[in-house]
Structure 1
Amino acid sequence: MCRLALKSADDPFSPYEVLTAMEAMREGYDGSGLGLLLRGISFEDFNYKPNRPILSGIVQSEAALHRLNKFMEDRGFELRYDHEFDLDRRVLEVGDQYKYVIRVYRLPDDWSSKSEEEVENLLMHTRLDLRRDGEEHDGDLTVFSFWPDVMMIKEVGWPLQVGDGLSLHDGRIKARVVMAQGRQNTNYGINLYACHPFFIQGISTMTNGENTAFVPIRDWLLGLHKPGYQGYQSDSEVFTHILHYTLKELKLPLQAYKHIITPLKTEELEKHPSGDFLRGLRDSCRRLIIDGPNCVIGTLSDETCLMVMDHKKMRPGTVGGRPGCWAMASEMCGVESLVPDRDRSLDFQPMREHTVIIPPDRKELVIWSQFDPYPLAQAA
């Protein structure tokens, strides 16, 4: 199994706090990789404006860095900040990476007249073009995300080992939301693109479990011929794309995600107040039904956080916290590490019908059930 940890707080905090929670759950994974996603970012030495995209990745050579610079300059992106990690290569398992890239760019001038949807698509295509460029040059350029107010770090090694090697404890980078996953390399060779969390157009998920329905889901998504639905070095990446498809393509509310990946049984839908609509949704998205066991944790651009389980519920998931600070983790000790000053009686372990949501205001935990009335007005 893998291990997952997420913290969401009103006040920005160091990602090292989440790595410490991962250490508390260390026995649950093998140290083959760490993935981090940060939102609500602040830099100690740069006044970051959240509307500017951040490029996250790894450059393996000076030639790759030169290509990256030229690519961005040719397309009108102006580099405003280039974060230099205080590296301790003796600690890092992979100590020969040329440069870890966290760069803030100003959008091209000719994008100012474009709609929000057009800008989002152009940002996605920029990321995909950079990824393709790296793959065409023996993997010397890896790009995990290119999006406003989001940065990602992925590397081989134990969480604290990576955090110490990149000096993430120095407080120079903080965020209001941090996702972390310790990847157990059970199905694929080590590939940083296969390391959770996964990301597309502001939407990110990470998973503990195995998606045994991966192949038919992947093939269905590929058949849509949407530019962002590609890659799939991991069977869990489809969870991110299904969430994207639900919110961006179908334009349905968040509650629809659970109804798509784990629909209620026919006899349950017959008694449901929104049964007719939900049966139609299930039938039209039948190829996106997952088969676990899985626990999925996700985040959205507005800092909404969510957790869902599949019907088998054979992978743990726990949520706890207090107003202004919440945590999600694979184990109770992970939540305890992240929010020790909480009311433990409010800790919650979702069942197969639940979607647990931490709203952007972080005032209280929202627990939504598939048996609740579906918000048809939002879906119209």
Structure 2
Amino acid sequence: MCRLFALTSKDPVSPMEAIKALDVMKEGHDGSGVGLLLRDLGGPFEEMKDAPILSGIFSEEGIRKLDLFMMDQGFMTKYKMSIKVPKQTLEGTPKRGLYLLRAYEYPDSWNVDTLDEKELATRLMMTRLKIREMGEEKKDMIVFSFWPDTIMLKELGDPMQIARHLGLDRKDLKARTIMAQGRQNTNYAINLYACHPFFIKGYSTMTNGENTAFIPIRDFLSSRDFPGYMGYQSDSEVFAHILHYTMSGLDLGLDAYKHVITPLQDRDIENHPDATFLKHLKKSCRQLIIDGPNCVIGTLPDNTLFMAQDRKKLRPGVVGGRPGMFAFSSEVCGLDAVIPDRDKSKDIQPMHLDTAIVGPDRQEVKICRQTEPLTLPL
């Protein structure tokens, strides 16, 4: 199993807080890797919220290729933060080039001020996919995200050792929304593109569990003729794509996401106030139904954080905190490590019908139950 931890805070915090939580839960993961998503950034990136940030790992040759490509596209560097790898390597961690976090000015030719929001998102996604494609042959360009106010870091090895090795406690690297996973890859070869969290157009998920319905889900998404639905080095990547498909493709709310991946049984749908719609949704999206056990934690473009689980409820998950700071964790000890002064009597373990949600105001945990009326549409 993996271990998950997500934090949402009104004030920027260091990613080391999330790493600390993973470390106390380390008996639940094998230390084969760590993935970090940082959003609603603090530090120097806070002054450039609209600038797309490229996150990835590049060799010297890869950086030269990147620079030529980005200049040809019309992107100009606005700010960059490099994480240099110490000469002394870590056991189990491949020798890398440079971890690059670089904010860009949009090309003048894009006319961003008048560009449709979805079109802008598509152009950013296609730029990321092109860079990924350019790096496939020589593995000299590994790109995790290219999106405003967003940083992603992934590496193989023990989470705490990696964090210390890369100096992630630096003062200029902070965020208000953090997702972290200590990874155990049980089904596929270990590579960085298989490492959670997964990200697409502002939507991100990470999962603890096994998605045995992966093949039909992958085939359905691939048939949508959407370039971003690709990769799939992990059976869990589809959770992020289903989230995007539900909210951006179908224009439904977050409450509908749970109905897509774990629809109500037919007898329960009959008693639902939106029975007619849910019957149609279940039929048309049948190939997106998951077969767990799975615990899913995700974020939306507005930094809403949520947790949902399948009917089997065999992967733990707990939510707790206080106004201004909440955390979602695989184990209570993860919460205790980061928010020890919370009212523990208010901790929530979402049941199979629940989606636990903390909005961008970070004031409370809301529980959305599948028996409640849907928000239709967004």
Give the TM-score of the pair, scaled to structure 2.
0.97
Partner of 1:56: 55
- How far has the Cα of 1:91 moved from its partner? 5.8
Task: Tell me how far 1:95 sits from its aligned partner.
Answer: 5.7
Looking at structure 2, the residues matched to 370 and 177 of structure 1 have their Cα atoms a distance apart, in angstroms, of 26
Aligned pairs for 1:222-233 (under 5 A) are: 222-233=222-233
How far did residue 98 of structure 1 move?
1.1
Matching residue of 1:117: 118
How many Å separate the matches in 2 of 1:172 and 1:375?
39
The amino acid that maps onto 1:351 is M
Match of residue 316 from structure 2: 316
Does the residue aligned with 1:80 lie in a helix, a strand or coil? strand
The CA distance in 2 between the partners of 1:179 and 1:186, in whole Å, is 21
| 2:89/2:95 contact within 8 Å kept | no
Aligned match of 2:332: 332
Quote the offset at 1:149 in angstroms: 0.5
Structure 1 residue aligned with 2:250:
250
AA aligned to 1:196 is H
Question: What is residue 127 of structure 1 aligned with on the other side?
Answer: 128
**Corresponding position: 1:305 with 2:310:** no
Q: Paired residue for 2:97? A: 98
Cα distance in structure 2, aligned partners of 1:371 and 1:88: 53
Gaps of 5+ in 1: none
Alignment correspondent of 1:259 = 259
Alignment match, 1:68: 66
Who is 1:207 aligned against?
Answer: 207
Amino acid at match of 2:86: D
Identical pairs, percent: 54
| CA distances 1:334-353 after superposition (whole Å, capped 9, x unpaired) | 11112111111110001110
Q: Matches of 1:143 and 1:204 in 2, distance apart?
A: 15
- Mapped to 1, the partners of 2:163 and 2:87 lie a distance apart of 11
What is the CA–CA distance in structure 2 between the aligned matches of 1:161 and 1:360, rounded to whole Å?
31
Question: What is the distance in 2 between the residues matched to 1:96 and 1:194?
Answer: 18
Deviation at 1:101, TM superposition (A): 1.1
CA distance in 2, matches of 1:177, 1:91: 30
Whole-angstrom distance in 1 between the partners of 2:255 and 2:176: 24
Pairing of 1:1-380 with structure 2 (within 5 A): 1-44=1-44, 48-59=47-58, 61-85=59-83, 87-90=85-88, 92-93=90-91, 94=93, 96-112=95-111, 113-135=114-136, 137-376=137-376, 378=377
- What RMSD in Å do the two structures reach over aligned CA positions? 1.2
Contact 1:62-1:98 within 8 A present in 2 as well: yes
Say if 1:252 and 1:47 are closer, same or farther in 2 by CA, change over 3 A: closer
- In 2, the alpha carbon distance for the partners of 1:186 and 1:48 equals 41
Aligned-residue offset at 1:300:
1.2
Equivalent residue of 2:169, what SS? helix
Taking the aligned partners of 1:307 and 1:91, their CA distance within structure 2 comes to 36
Which amino acid in structure 2 is aligned with residue 198 of structure 1?
F
The question of whether the paired residues in 2 share the 8 Å contact of 1:90 and 1:165 is answered with no
SS in 2 for 1:168: coil
List structure 1 segments (4+ residues) > 3 angstroms apart after TM superposition. 86-89
TM-score (norm 1): 0.96
Report the CA distance shift for 1:218/1:47 in structure 2 as closer, same or farther (over 3 A).
closer
Q: Aligned equivalents of 2:343 and 2:95: distance in 1?
A: 45
CA–CA separation in structure 2 for the residues paired with 1:313 and 1:66: 48
Q: Distance in 2 between matches of 1:247 and 1:89?
A: 44
- Say if 1:88 and 1:164, in contact at 8 Å, map to a contact too: no
How many equivalent pairs are there?
375
